[in-house]
Amino acid sequence: MDKKDIANIRKQFKINNDLLTINEIFNVYIMKESSEIYHHQSMPFEMLEEEQKELFMDNFKKVLSGQLDEKLFELKFQRDVENNSQLILHQGLLSNDTEEWKGQMLHLVAKMLKDKQYEMDIVVTFIRGEYMKSMKRQSEESEESDRDTVYSHPFILCSMNKTLDPKKELLFDYVEKEFKYNIVVDPIINLKAPISGFLFPSITDNAADVNHVLYSAGKKNELNYHFIEEVLNAEEIMTAAEDKIVFEEIVKNVAGDQKINTSTLSNVYEEIHRVVEENEEEDVPKLDYKDVEKVLRSSGIEDVNPEKVESAFKTVIDDESYEFKANNIVPKYTSKSIKIETKIANISISPQDLRFVRQVHFDGKSYLMMEVEENTVIEGFEMIPEALFKKVEGDNE
C-alpha cells in the first residue's frame, strides 16, 4: 500500500457513509494480572449508539494514521509457519458465520497472550466490513454515475487500546447542595491513542493482497516485534530511522579515513533526491549497492567502487542485496529537516542549503560558518559584518 491507498480507506471511516459498511464489532477485554480474557462481546456495528460509533470511527482512523515506514508498515507474511495468522485472517474474512468469525479472532487473541505480559488491561477491537471505491468515468459524455461501478474491498481491522484508571474528582450536587467525592471504579478505555493494530488484507491499486498486512505501531519508529513476528507471523521490517542509520554506517565504512565535509554530504543528499525525482512514477524508489556506489562516487567521495560498497553492505547489514527506500535515507528536501546541534545553539536547515554551512578552524578554535546573502537580524538589531582576518601591523603588502 502507498499513502494514497491508505488515505482512500482512512477517509471512509465516518458514520452514515454509503461507501463503508461495518458488519460486526468484536471487543475482547484482557486482564493484565493473569493475561487472560476477562470478557468478550460481539454485536452488529449499527446497534451501537451514535456517540459510540463516533468514538470508534475516530479510533479506527488513528490506527490508519501516520507516515509509512515510521508508524505504518506493510508487512509480508512468513511462509511455512504453523498456526499461520494469514490463514486465520483469511478464513475470518471469508466466513459468513458470526461464531466462526469470533472463533478466528479469539485465535489471534490467544497468540497475543502467549508469552506476553501487558502492563495494563487491554481491549482488543476487531471489525469486519467492506469499503467501496468508485471507478473513474470513462469519458465526460458518459451518463453512468460514478457510484454505478465500484471496487469492493472486504477487510478486517484490529485496534488495541489500553485502559486508564478513572479520575478522582470532587463534584457539587445542585439538588442536595453539597460537595461529593466522585467514586468511579470502571476503567476508561483510551480510544484516543491505540497502542497497535492492523488492516488485512493490504490493498494496492484497487486490488486486495492477502500476502501482506498493514501494521500500525503505537508510536513512530517504535515497533512491537512480538506482535509482528509472533502474532501476525510477518517478516522483519526496517523503520525509516533504522534505514537511515544503516545507510550512514555504510557511507562511513566506504569513506574510511576520509573526512566528509558539509559540501560532500550535501552532494550525497542532492544525488539521492535526484534519484527520487527521476523515479516519480515508481511508488517507492529504491537504491541497491550499485546505486549507492554511483551516488557516493558522484558526490565526491574518493576511491569508491561497486566491490567496496558491496562489501560495506555485507559488513554493516549482512545483506549485500538489501535495497534502501530512497525517501527513508534523505531528510525531507524542501523543509528544515537537518538539525545541527552545538553547545551554544541548535540550527535547522534544509538539505539543499547544507552546502552554505562550513566548519572551519581559525586561531586554534573551531567555528561554524554560514554563507548568507543579507545581513543577519537578531532581536530586531541588524548585525554589522565583521572581518574574519585582520591585517598584521607592519605588513607592507
pLDDT tens digits along 333-378: 878 888 888 888 888 988 888 888 888 888 888 888 888 888 888 8
Length of the chain: 397
Q: Which grid cell is 279?
A: 523515479
List pLDDT tens digits, range 268-327. 988 888 888 887 666 678 889 999 999 998 888 888 999 999 999 999 998 888 999 888
Answer yes or no: do 152 and 26 share one domain. yes
Is pLDDT at 396 greater than 60 in this prediction?
no
Q: How many domains does the chain have?
A: 2
Is pLDDT at 159 greater than 90 in this prediction?
yes
In a domain, 386, yes or no: no
Answer yes or no: do 82 and 59 share one domain. yes
Answer yes or no: do 105 and 36 share one domain. yes
Assign 152 a pLDDT band (cuts: 50, 70, 90). confident
Domain boundary among 269, 295, 329: 329
Residue 25, domain extent: 3-135+148-237
Answer yes or no: do 27 and 126 share one domain. yes
Task: Encode the chain in three state secondary structure.
Answer: CCHHHHHHHHCCCCCCCCCEEEEEEEEEEEECCCCEEEEEEEEEHHHCCHHHHHHHHHHHHHHCCCCECCCEEEEEECCCCCCCHHHHHHHHHHCCCHHHHHHHHHHHHHHHHCCCCCCCCEEEEEEEEEEEEECCCCCCCCCCCCCCCEEEEEEEEEEEEEEECCCCEEEEECCCCEEEEECCCCCEECCCCCCEEEEECEEECCEEECCEEEEEECECCECCHHHHHHHCCECCCCCHHHHHHHHHHHHHHHHCCCCCCHHHHHHHHHHHHHHHHHCCCCCCCEECHHHHHHHHHHCCCCCCCHHHHHHHHHHHHCCCCCCEEHHHHCCCCCCCCEEEECCCCEEEECHHHHHHEEEEEECCEEEEEECCCCCCEECCEECCCCCCCCCCCCCCC
In a domain, 345, yes or no: no
Is pLDDT at 34 greater than 50 in this prediction?
yes
Q: Which grid cell is 6?
A: 491508505
Answer yes or no: do 188 and 82 share one domain. yes
Answer yes or no: do 170 and 51 share one domain. yes
Answer yes or no: do 175 and 195 share one domain. yes
Answer yes or no: do 270 and 224 share one domain. no
Domain boundary among 268, 294, 329: 329
List pLDDT tens digits, range 209-237. 999 999 999 999 999 999 999 999 999 88
Answer yes or no: do 210 and 298 share one domain. no
Answer yes or no: do 305 and 233 share one domain. no
Is pLDDT at 150 greater than 80 in this prediction?
no
Is pLDDT at 141 greater than 60 in this prediction?
no
Is pLDDT at 395 greater than 50 in this prediction?
no
